[in-house]
Amino acid sequence: MSATVSTSANRSQATITIRLNGKSREVRDGLTVRSLLEELELHPGMVVVELNRDILERDRYADVRVRDGDSLELVHFVGGG
């Protein structure tokens, strides 16, 4: 898989393709797991991330970069009563 570059107005932005919860999705290149969760408006403390079939420890979200071809499964906890 290769990264693509899309241009808009005066700037260009590289994107990568990942699998997110079983669906193909283009995201900005250079995101960490934490920044991806923030873009998806998910609170990192309320999400379990499986990256390429391995559970990722929450304290590593900010350090692990999302790469082209990665497969992520996100499990979001919802409170209720």
Residue with tokens 């350090």: 63
- Per-residue tens of pLDDT for the chain, all 81 residues: 455 544 444 345 899 999 999 999 999 999 999 999 999 999 999 999 999 999 999 999 999 999 999 999 999 877 766
- The DSSP result for 14-51, as a single string, is EEEEEEETTEEEEEETT-BHHHHHHHTT--GGGEEEEE
pLDDT in tens, 39-55: 999 999 999 999 999 99
The CATH superfamily label for domain 4-76 reads Beta-grasp domain (3.10.20.30)
What does pTM read for this prediction?
Answer: 0.80
d(CA 2, CA 22): 19
Specify the pLDDT at position 78. Answer: 74
